[in-house]
Amino acid sequence: MDKDSTNLADQQYEYVAEIGEGAYGKVFKARDLKNGGRFVALKRVRVQTSEEGMPVSTIREVAVLRHLETFEHPNVVRLFDVCTVSRTDRETKLTLVFEHVDQDLTTYLDKVPEPGVPTETIKDMMLQLFRGLDFLHSHRVVHRDLKPQNILVTSNGQIKLADFGLARIYSFQMALTSVVVTLWYRAPEVLLQSSYATAVDLWSVGCIFAEMFRRKPLFRGNSDVDQLGKIFELPPGFLSLALPVPVLMLPCSCSVMRLLKEMGLTKHI
């Protein structure tokens, strides 16, 4: 842990473990000593500072996160605080303090014994996922990187969308290139670097929906071109072939479609 992290821990947080690392910083599990020792997730990010100071996009995104937090939506991970750890002429280090959840959807799926996730559980998770997504979209927030690793699952099965916000602005240019960790859940218009809106999130959710049944990703491309090829080479009705339990999926799919129509979220379906 670096000096900045140590100073922050001395003030309020007791670091427990490093739980993740991305292109823009690390994520730590810690105890919040000023709030009863509750567990939190500290996401440390690096912001390139211009001559005019911190980029307007960063300031705007922090404001968006703060605005979302006032609603405390049950299916969006909570942001408790934003701290400036250090600042130089070229870079500012921020720490975003989120509620901590022990597992993501990838870990959850790996732990589920055969024959897999019960259909009723999938229906419930999809309902929560769409409620969280509808909340984001209603506040003009496009996630753009929905995947199982960015969907948290609490011990009682509550779904929480995570990893949207500050990192999304930082990775805006990179999000359209193969530099991103995974391309498997990205919509065709994103891969083609075309204009896009909230519908790209629905594509990602569709891929995740199939993965809940298959317990493995639907499209495993290794580049933008390869990913597009895997998407467009599939024949009509491919889901009935791709899913090992199409009969079980049918009633679940109908329930999801009804929910989407009620929310007005039917593009990409």
CA distances from 108 to 24, 149, 183 (A): 25, 10, 21
**Known binder of ligand: residue 230?**
no
Domain C-terminal end among 47, 76, 99: 99
| Catalytic residue set | 145
Instruction: Give the per-residue pLDDT at 188.
Output: 84
Instruction: Give the per-residue pLDDT at 19.
Output: 87
Same domain, 219 and 116: yes
Question: Whole-model pTM?
Answer: 0.75
Same domain, 149 and 77: no
C-alpha 166/C-alpha 47 separation (Å) is 10
| 268 part of a folded domain | no
How does pLDDT run along the chain (269 residues), one tens digit per residue?
444 544 555 578 888 999 887 656 688 999 999 998 999 999 887 777 655 555 555 566 677 777 788 888 999 998 888 887 666 767 777 888 889 998 999 999 999 888 888 989 998 999 999 999 989 888 878 787 889 989 999 999 999 998 765 434 333 443 433 334 468 988 888 788 777 777 888 889 989 998 998 888 888 888 889 989 888 887 665 555 445 444 444 444 455 555 555 555 555 54
Domains in the chain, number:
2
Domain C-terminal end among 81, 99, 117: 99
Same domain, 44 and 118: no
Q: Are 151 and 161 in contact (CB under 8 A)?
A: yes
Domain C-terminal end among 46, 68, 99: 99
| 175 part of a folded domain | no
Same domain, 141 and 224: yes
What is the domain range of residue 246? 103-161+182-263
Instruction: Give the per-residue pLDDT at 171.
Output: 38
CATH number, residue 94: 3.30.200.20
Who's near 9: CB < 8 A, 6+ residues apart?
A: 1, 15, 30
Instruction: Give the per-residue pLDDT at 5.
Output: 47
| 177 part of a folded domain | no
Instruction: Give the per-residue pLDDT at 181.
Output: 41
Same domain, 46 and 81: yes
